Structure 1
Amino acid sequence: MTESLPAVSRTAVGVAALRAYESSRPDRLFDDPYAAAFAAAGHPALPATGRGDAQARLGMLFYPQVVIRTRFFDDYLLGSGCPQVVLLAAGLDARAFRLAWPPGTRVFEIDLPEVLAFKDEVLAAHGASPACERVVVPADLRGNWAKAVRDAGFDPAVPTAWLAEGLLIYLAREDAERLLTAVRELSAPGSRIAFEHRPGTPPESLIARARATEGGEPVTALWRGGLGGRAPEWLAAHGWEPSTVTRAELAARYGRPSDDDATAGGFVTAVL
């Protein structure tokens, strides 16, 4: 099953391993009881250069960012007040199972068929039950995914919380704009969206350090840049009201020491 995972989706296995480690800590910022199972089942899919010492170095590099973003996006989704949630490129995210969703919440998970099949196989093996109404939508986000999610029961008249976690950097700018334009067209007033925001790539940025780290090439070669540092401006020009927060601010809020500063990037959220 792991052999069928596309290269870009295999990065989710590494992220699952980091979430599993965080979940084992007594001072954890979140608890993902399925992350370790995803990491174990997906380990054979990791490229050879992503194992051993190189994998450990990459993990240490990405670990603080993954932990902060997981907690931030958890809080964003549960605090959105939206009865409808869409996880774009849901990957091995287990929020439909591990978060305390308000009654009546519907969570749509969109990703490639191979990814969702792998995910559901692991979840079924562990007897997982969703904590909300979970709707799986096999679709390529570069294709007509909007029709697929509507056919699956998505209601564009209902306020929706959209999440594009770890996604846009893998898309070229035109693909990112096309995706977000479709999101805008499907969004009712009161809808929200969130994703990572990187205002630049200074020499000490996470992106720059990952490119300079041994074993990072299989991951960094997949990056296409997304909207670059212009996400808030793009959102504002398309009717959203954006706001940003840095990882450094969140690290302080969560009580996690961090070497990040304001140039290190963070997250953008927006309301329609």
Structure 2
Amino acid sequence: MPSLFSLYRKIFFERKPGWDELALPHIRVRTHNISLSAKNVNNYASICGFDFDGKILPLTYLYVMVFRLHAVIFTHKGITFPLLGMIHLKNSITQYRQLTVDEHFDLECALINSQLTDAGLEFELVSQARVNGILVWESLSTYLYRVESASRRVRPPKANAMAWESPDSWSLADDLGRKYAKASGDYNLIHLHPILSKRFGFDRVLAHGMWSKARCIAQIMPKIGECPCKVDVVFKLPLFMPSDVSFAAENNEDELVFELRDARGRRPHLSGKISYL
């Protein structure tokens, strides 16, 4: 696997000129026969709330591995804008069967689409994991490189229509970002310390979006069980730390919908749904 230390050194210290208004190139990165560390998986499971039995991988864990390939793509010479200004808008993960820590994975990540929107340049990264040539896990992430527009109107996101009765409450400490960074390798500066996050316009540190997703999934794993499934989430409002949040989930026809909101249950930080395959 590529070294995140070397990649972050490029991300933090190499200057990029900014988006040149051209369509992004199609970039593909592969790595083969990747083994996992049970100790690392356990650390990740602990910070995200999964009950790791030493064998079955948390549903979101392979994202930690493919994120390294994302970083390789972000540092490609064809990407002319800086990573630190990007926003993770959406993420979808499909797991076709339960995965175990002792398996070996072939991982692949590709930048497949890009388009200009009112908010800026959106692009998609698809990541796949195979065991013995068979697709067992995949993820689709949508990112935004924000381009300021005088005509753009920012509308506050709305909570979904689900009932909000007896939600779970979680308290997030201000060192959560540092703990998750250590467990995942995602050392984006806005998640680490207020002094660093202020450089990017935030008074407090932000929780990682993929921690929020993982924590929500961990909460409803008893309902998912061994079922193959697809988990879609939309990241809405930034989640600052320290803070208290509320979480609830309910069945909606053939899907399980869930949302992470502020302590009062009014402002949504993340909305998601689980569909079974």
TM-score, normalised by the number of residues in structure 1: 0.31
Considering only CA atoms, is the larger Rg found in Structure 1 or Structure 2?
Answer: 2
Larger relative helix fraction: 1
Larger relative strand fraction: 2
